[in-house]
Structure 1
Amino acid sequence: MRDWPDLYLMRHGQTEWNVQGRMQGRLDSLLTPLGVMQARRQGWLVRDLRGLTRHASTAGRAQQTARIVFAGQDFVSDERLHEIDIGDFTGRLWHELRAERPELFAGGGLDWYDRAPQGEHFAGLEARVRSFLQDLTAPALIVTHGITLRMIRLVAMGLPRERLAEMPVAQGALHLVSRGRHRMFF
């Protein structure tokens, strides 16, 4: 397992589509008032960290979160931190899709992301995340998305893809991956 720099990972704050149960993928929606409070909380959690590079997904919800978290400090926007592309499922309501295609959601895990028609699938996301991590030369603060955050942790911790669903992610939390181990702070 490679020894990656310390990673301070954050998921964007709650969005309007999160509340609606609408799957965003490559589309976007604004942060809710709770999402703004979650981003402020993350900013408070990282307030004393110095000398780290700052990165964010190019998605609007991650950019909005990063502007709050980084409180006016510069950060690098990187397409490789964007959420997994869920193809034909983008913009769909979760409960409607589950009713239409129950076979895709059997077992209740995250495997449906890997079967989304016209989607990126896990292999594409993993390659994108690995490329991002290989370019890091210093500890980093990163604002990204739920599935992408899980994949970053999976790669950084040297775990097999089958463990992706075991990775908890919380909006408003700070995930630290250091020396192959994970800790979460609220």
Structure 2
Amino acid sequence: MLHLYIARHGQTQWNVEKRMQGWLDSDLTELGLYNARALGERLKDIELNQVYISPSKRTEETAKTVLGSRRLPLVKDHMFREMSLGSWEGKKQEDIERDEPDLFHAYFHYPEAYRQQGCETFFDFENRVRLALQTILDSHSSGNVLLVTHSVFILMLLNIIKGRRVHDIWNSAYIHDTSLSLVEFDENGTAKILIEGDGKHRKPISAF
């Protein structure tokens, strides 16, 4: 039996500023680091066999904070990156919505119709996430694996596991920073979602 623990990176400065990140990066906030440490405490009794991360600085810093003193190599792969957003990366959502309202609306409401020049479509992204998942399944038939990645990646991964269409990607619980999902795979590769987007370890922004 394989247990895949899936965590989003900690809160970043651009998250606070409501900027789109995609393949670009920004630093973790103090709250982001706090919640990463809290996730590490939550997972401290889980014997992890491998840790996969995207090459983004925010996922690497989160993973290292979660692991603490545990000495596990981090396997970085571009397959686990967030969806590319091209010219939107680094821009505030409100500015994108003002300047490109139709495209912005399509992104969040009709993802199958979203097309931005030089970027992944949601169908391209779905294929990449499928490949990323299969890579993990081909390498691990049992044990505990941690994947530290990004919100839209996690939504797409869970969407695939649920057997849903691209159109349904946003019809799930919001993936907050450091939220945890857990998927169990049996020896036949059949998946069961045990935890989805859970953040009980997180300290709320209002209390920080």
- The superposition leaves residues 3-54 of structure 1 with CA deviations (integer Å, 9 ceiling, x where unpaired) of x943211110110111111111111000000110111121122111114321
Aligned pairs (5 A) from 1:83-162: 83-106=82-105, 109=108, 111=110, 114-136=114-136, 137=140, 138=142, 139-162=144-167
- The superposition leaves residues 41-100 of structure 1 with CA deviations (integer Å, 9 ceiling, x where unpaired) of 211221111143211111001111011012243221121111100112111111111011
Q: Which amino acid aligns with 1:106?
A: H
In structure 2, what is the equivalent of residue 45 of structure 1?
A: 42
**Stretch of structure 1 that moved more, 31-40 or 119-128:** 119-128
- The superposition leaves residues 101-144 of structure 1 with CA deviations (integer Å, 9 ceiling, x where unpaired) of 12223378354693333211212222221112112224421100
Is residue 165 of structure 1 aligned with residue 170 of structure 2? yes
**Stretch of structure 1 that moved more, 16-25 or 121-130:** 121-130
Question: Which consecutive residues of structure 2, in runs of 5 or more, have no partner in the other structure?
Answer: 185-190, 201-208
TM-score where L is the length of structure 1: 0.88
Question: Which consecutive residues of structure 1, in runs of 5 or more, have no partner in the other structure?
Answer: none
Distance in structure 2 (CA, Å) of the matches to 1:17 and 1:110: 23
* Cα 1:41–1:110 shift into 2, 3 Å: farther
Native 8 Å contact 1:176 1:182 kept in 2: yes
Distance in structure 1 (CA, Å) of the matches to 2:151 and 2:43: 19
**Stretch of structure 1 that moved more, 12-21 or 125-134:** 125-134
In structure 2, what is the equivalent of residue 80 of structure 1?
A: 79
Native 8 Å contact 2:52 2:146 kept in 1: yes
Of the two, which has the highest radius of gyration?
2
Q: C-alpha root-mean-square deviation of aligned residues, in Å? A: 2.1
Name the SS for the 2:118 alignment partner.
Answer: coil
TM-score where L is the length of structure 2: 0.79
**Stretch of structure 1 that moved more, 98-107 or 147-156:** 98-107
Q: Percent identity?
A: 31
Native 8 Å contact 1:88 1:117 kept in 2: no
Q: Which amino acid aligns with 1:145?
A: H
Is residue 61 of structure 1 aligned with residue 58 of structure 2? yes
**Stretch of structure 1 that moved more, 22-31 or 86-95:** 86-95
In structure 1, what is the equivalent of residue 203 of structure 2?
A: none
Distance in structure 2 (CA, Å) of the matches to 1:108 and 1:90: 14
